[in-house]
A and B are shown apart, each in its own frame.
Chain A
Amino acid sequence: MTVHQLSVFIENKSGTLVKVLKLLKQEDIQLIASTIADTADYGICRIICSEPERAYTVLKEAGVAVSLCEVFAVELDDRPGKAADAIEIFAGEGISIAYLYSFLLNGKGVLIFRTDNSEKAAEIISANDLKIIREKDLSKLL
């Protein structure tokens, strides 16, 4: 019930991010969402894209410090308070969110997140009928 996310370790130096994005461009891989978490010296660029496994191989072969991980993608109605409702369910069960970002796709809100307990998070998602987006659905939405 998860989707693949690329996590790229990049240094805060001009040219490092563009190198990663150009590699994806050359392979005709499309970004769906991305976000950067940073400190003074380096950051992590998290990327949801059209063909994550192929993108991972491409970046790895080019010597980019990349890992492929699994994150939850939940679809929400594009209305005020929907994100709050969803996160509240997790907080109520004592689950912490490690990181979260969101974007709009075809009029629907999408929340991408990772928790400190993936197993329990999956149970909560099922029990509360949250609408999960699967990887094949993501590329269909493009």
Chain B
Amino acid sequence: MIWNPNKESMPREQMRELQGKRLHKVVDYVYHNVPFYRNKMQEMDINPNDIRSIDDIVKLPFTTKQDLRDNYPTGLQAAPASEIIRFHASSGTTGNPTIVGYTRKDVSVWSECMARCLTAYGVTRDDVFSVAYGYGLFTGGLGVHYGVEHLGAAVLPTSTGNTEKHVRLLRDLGVTGIACTPSYALYLAETMERMGITPDMIKLRVGAFGAEPWTENMRQEIERRLGLKGYNLYGLSEIMGPCVSYECECQNGSHICEDHYFPEIVDPNTLETLPHGQVGELVFTTLTKEGMPLLRYRTRDLCSLMDGECECGRTSVRMGRIMGRSDDMLIIRGINVFPSQVESVILGMPECAPRFLLIVDRVGNLDTLTVEVEVRQEYFDAGFDTLTPITDLEKKVAEKLRSVLSISVKVKVKAPNTIERSQGKSKFVIDNRKIQ
């Protein structure tokens, strides 16, 4: 099913024309309402009339997370305060939090886009849908919540925490859909197993997962343990929140709501636009946002874009799986290491639970990488009674990591359930290097 075929399956030329018109409008709007953008454009000697088609986007300045921090709290807000009806804020663990104000129209566009995502996953008015993203300043909870209501399904605002109660509600209400982070989905599965509840005792059928990187192996694991089909849900608070892109039943990339969020891929070093198909940093321009429109916002997410009509009938550009973050990338002994590479190795090991921790250190002048992995509880049922299988497992994981990462890694096996679970975004990395 397609929620809005008019937009989601719009012929390409028509879409480009619409995007061009909207881009001109939003550029004109920020030029007159956001000093930051006016100054930047004047420095570059461009004005809104230079932006006539979507191809003109390359003339525009970029926006970075740092720009948002520098203009804390509401320096990039374009709408007058009286028009703002809601604020969300990022966690701000590495500096000022990022504050995003939404007008009534923004919230309505958000709900519309979110309904597109849910419809693509097969959610209908008949579903009961649990929103297990955190409610509050984080966009996940309220964003999905409004989309489910807009679609007309029943929303169960579970948020995170109190997981046992959540499991009971899933079972007793016959909940059919859920949205949460992939790591929370696994935590939920563990809780269910501990409570003796098997997938056939609940009716979950659709899972919308996002807000942190996850892999194909992780998807299969979640699908098996919760008995549902898992779909990717992508978004970021600076642009809107969850709803920016979504997978359809074909699961061949995520369709971008590109009548509202225009995607580009650029080389993170040169900032040159890359052709579709190449991996680079994903950049979004909000085409219809009123509260805090952003031009060419650098997401730091690395992926590629795909053209061509999808078998589902949608014509929108799709984005591939996020390969990593340009700022998550660790440089260890000069080699680029992405936590997602480690994750794919761990998930390919049946002995290991899908939890890990990367610890980076500097001993003398040498960087070291230690990977802590958890052994599965079932591993011990097979009759473990010497340390040899554990040390063999460490060697096996270390060899596999070495071949994937091209650097040597110390692997430390941990007992089941000893690596800390997070209920929000997983923390995968501890970097202890003190570089002077």
A residues with a Cβ closer than 8 A to B are: 5, 7, 9-11, 37, 39, 41-44, 46, 63, 65-69, 71, 98-99, 114
Contacts and interface: CB of A to CB of B under 8 A. Distances in A.
Interface in B212-240: none
Query: Most chain-B CB neighbours within 10 Å: which of A9, A43, A66, A69?
Result: A9
Main secondary structure of the interface of A (DSSP, over half): strand
Interface of B: 375, 377, 380-387, 390-391, 412-418
Contacts, number: 50
Contacts of A37: 386-387
A9 B380 contact: yes
Contacts of B386: 37, 44, 98-99
A114 B415 contact: no
Given A65-B375, A66-B380, A67-B380, A7 B415 contact: no
- Tell me what chain B mostly uses at the interface: helix, strand, loop, or mixed: loop
Q: What are the 9 closest A-B residue pairs judged by CB atoms, nearest first?
A: A7-B385, A69-B385, A65-B415, A67-B380, A67-B384, A65-B380, A69-B383, A67-B383, A65-B416
A39 B391 contact: yes
A41 B370 CA distance: 13
A66 B417 CA distance: 13
Contact of A67 (B385, B391, B414, B416): B385
A42 B383 contact: no
Scoring A39, A65, A68, A99 by chain B CB atoms within 10 A of each residue's CB, the highest score goes to A65
Contacts of A68: 383
Contacts of A99: 386
B380 A41 contact: no
Contacts of A9: 375, 380, 384, 390, 415
A37 B386 CA distance: 9
A42 B416 contact: no
